[in-house]
């Protein structure tokens, strides 16, 4: 039986409950959109102020002086981030944005030859990845038919066997999400990587919706490359600097898009006409790092280092299971269906499907719950392990129940806002 007492009891037993106070959580509100933008933590705020102080104190000497010299900050944060994805420190660099980093990886590793010219992706992927893929195909004078899309049988989930079946001899590269951004389905990265490599195909993963909520073993799985943002589960702030993983077996591959911050650090300020790339993932940086946008990630990663991704995943699964159990018990009569996997192949959010989803999201916001609407009829709800509680989940379901019982959603239009 799901009830508030059960939620309170689970909160009392939660070993991660102390971290809720690390975040700016508004009293009486329930923030469940951490899979779009994580909340600000006090450590992230402190890290920004510390970096500002280094600018104030040292001026240009901040590049080499202070507690966190700016010149090496991207590498330092890459090292801190590496355990979250099962990578070696030198295989990770924090730089650029999700899309810019994908452009870099495509420019570096997409080398169509002979029959192998197509890029395999999926129709459920976040569109920015598909836009980037299309643009690189166009550079090589290939039209849209050269982007091979795996179809979904139900519009929510992908069949891994269908993905593998699509890895034919015409495919040069595969780009897939680690977690599907709508339904939260976790793909088996090790299985898919093994299948791709058996067919001599390079494979890379978009980890935007998995990093910080789902553990990965990218190095041991042999993944060729990966890219991600840091403002969702990693709470790095809006538009924070993103990340790149490149497996060490590819070190020495010259960056497709060269820039001076991809240089060997010891030679960068030689300012030679001929670039000497770094012999790590740092080679795939392009421009000067955005120091003030790197700063909050430092504070956030300190917490992840303390807690460990396995503990975060454990609580995340408990929260989403409790959420689904409460929905089954309390909301059964109101026409909701779950679009996310119900087993442990789900990521850090649940995906509620309802024909009135946009209106329901508006009603939730009015009632103090922050959800995420996905057209045409999806509601994403992400209880984040570091700052959401089981009581948050229970109260959110009760608010949803009230919205449906009293038809409060009907006073809103069934359409999304400009930003959804």
Summarised one tens digit per residue, pLDDT across range 309-341 is 999 999 999 999 999 999 999 999 999 999 999
Does 136 count as an annotated binding residue?
no
Q: What is the dihedral of CA 43, 46, 50, 52, to 10 degrees?
A: 120
Q: Which domains does the chain have, with CATH numbers?
A: 4-31+308-411 (3.90.1150.10), 46-307 (3.40.640.10)
Active site annotation includes 279: no
* Mean pLDDT of all residues in 260-278: 95
- The pLDDT, as a whole number, for residue 415 is 75
Split at pLDDT 50, 70, 90, the class of 146 is very high
Active site annotation includes 325: no
Write out the DSSP string of 224-275.
-EEEE-SSSTT---TT---EEEE-GGGTTPPPSS--GGGB-TTTGGG--SS-
Instruction: Tell me which of 33, 122, 206, 392 is the catalytic residue.
Output: 206
* Mean pLDDT of all residues in 398-417: 92
- The pLDDT, as a whole number, for residue 263 is 97
Does 67 count as an annotated binding residue?
no
Asked if 226 and 207 touch (Cβ cutoff 8 Å), the reply is yes
Taking the CA atoms of 249, 298, 104 and 35 in sequence, report the sign of the dihedral they define. positive
The residue written with tokens 């209880």 in the block is 383
pLDDT at 417 over 80: no
Instruction: Tell me the average pLDDT of the chain.
Output: 97
Instruction: Tell me which of 245, 373, 380, 409 is the catalytic residue.
Output: 380
- The pLDDT, as a whole number, for residue 418 is 57
Residue 7 backbone dihedrals phi, psi, to 5 degrees: -65, -45
Active site annotation includes 402: no
In the DSSP assignment, the letter for residue 26 is P
272-296: per-residue pLDDT in tens? 999 999 999 999 999 999 999 999 9
- The pLDDT, as a whole number, for residue 413 is 86
Instruction: Tell me which of 43, 232, 346, 374 is the catalytic residue.
Output: 232
94-144: per-residue pLDDT in tens? 999 999 999 999 999 999 999 999 999 999 999 999 999 999 999 999 999
Taking the C-alpha atoms of residue 321 and residue 342, their distance in angstroms, rounded to an integer, is 8
- The pLDDT, as a whole number, for residue 108 is 98
Instruction: Tell me which of 19, 71, 181, 231 is the catalytic residue.
Output: 231
pTM for this prediction? 0.96
Taking the C-alpha atoms of residue 74 and residue 194, their distance in angstroms, rounded to an integer, is 30
Active site annotation includes 232: yes
Does 206 count as an annotated binding residue?
yes
Q: What's the burial of 148, exposed, middle or buried (CB within 10 Å: 0-12/13-18/19+)?
A: middle
Does 280 count as an annotated binding residue?
no
Per-residue tokens: 371: 């959800």
185-217: per-residue pLDDT in tens? 999 999 999 999 999 999 999 999 999 999 999
Q: Which of 321, 300, 419, 224 lies closest to 42 in space, CA to CA?
A: 300
Instruction: Tell me which of 72, 109, 126, 412 is the catalytic residue.
Output: 126
Inter-CA distances, 55 with 46, 307, 321, 410, Å:
14, 30, 46, 52
347-359: per-residue pLDDT in tens? 999 999 999 999 9
* Mean pLDDT of all residues in 356-375: 97
- The pLDDT, as a whole number, for residue 42 is 98
Active site annotation includes 109: no
90-101: per-residue pLDDT in tens? 999 999 999 999
pLDDT at 16 over 70: yes
Does 337 count as an annotated binding residue?
no
* Mean pLDDT of all residues in 403-417: 90
* Mean pLDDT of all residues in 368-391: 97
Does 260 count as an annotated binding residue?
yes
Q: How far apart are the first and last CA of the chain?
A: 34
- The pLDDT, as a whole number, for residue 419 is 61
pLDDT at 420 over 70: no
- The pLDDT, as a whole number, for residue 414 is 79
Does 288 count as an annotated binding residue?
yes
């Amino acid at each position: 039986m799901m009830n508030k007492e059960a939620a309170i009891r689970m909160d009392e037993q939660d070993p991660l409950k102390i971290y809720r106070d690390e975040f700016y959580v508004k009293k009486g509100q329930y923030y469940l959109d951490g899979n779009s933008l994580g909340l600000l933590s006090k450590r992230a705020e402190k890290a920004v102020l510390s970096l500002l102080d280094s600018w104030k104190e040292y001026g240009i000497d901040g590049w080499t002086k202070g507690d966190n010299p700016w010149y090496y900050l991207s590498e330092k944060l890459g090292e801190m981030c590496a355990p979250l994805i099962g990578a070696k420190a030198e295989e990770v660099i924090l730089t650029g944005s999700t899309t810019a980093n994908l452009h870099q990886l495509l420019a570096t590793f997409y080398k169509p030859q002979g029959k192998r010219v197509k890029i395999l992706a999926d129709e459920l992927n976040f569109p920015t990845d598909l836009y980037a893929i299309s643009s690189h195909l166009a550079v090589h004078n290939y039209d849209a038919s050269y982007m091979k899309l795996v179809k979904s049988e139900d519009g929510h989930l992908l069949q891994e066997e269908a993905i593998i079946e699509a890895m034919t001899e015409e495919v040069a590269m595969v780009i897939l999400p680690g977690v599907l951004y709508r339904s939260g389905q976790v793909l088996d990265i090790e299985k898919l990587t093994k299948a791709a490599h058996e067919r001599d195909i390079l494979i890379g993963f978009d980890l935007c919706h998995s990093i910080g909520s789902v553990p990965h073993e990218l190095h041991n799985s042999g993944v060729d490359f990966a890219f991600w943002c840091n403002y969702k589960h990693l709470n790095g702030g809006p538009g924070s600097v993103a990340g790149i993983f490149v497996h060490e077996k590819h070190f020495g591959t010259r960056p497709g898009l060269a820039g001076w911050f991809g240089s060997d650090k010891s030679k960068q300020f030689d300012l030679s006409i001929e670039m000497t790339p770094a012999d790590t993932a740092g080679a795939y940086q392009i421009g000067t790092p955005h120091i003030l946008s790197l700063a909050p990630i430092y504070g956030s990663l300190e917490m992840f280092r303390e807690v460990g991704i396995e503990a975060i995943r454990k609580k995340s699964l408990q929260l989403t299971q409790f959420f689904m159990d409460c929905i089954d018990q309390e909301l059964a009569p109101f026409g909701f269906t779950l679009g996310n996997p119900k087993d442990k192949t789900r990521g850090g959010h649940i995906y509620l499907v309802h024909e009135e989803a946009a209106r329901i999201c508006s009603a939730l916001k009015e009632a103090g719950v922050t959800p995420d609407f996905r057209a045409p009829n999806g509601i994403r709800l992400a209880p984040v392990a570091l700052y959401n509680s089981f009581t948050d989940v229970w109260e959110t379901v009760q608010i949803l129940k009230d919205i449906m019982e009293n038809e409060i959603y009907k006073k809103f239009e069934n359409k999304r806002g400009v930003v959804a």
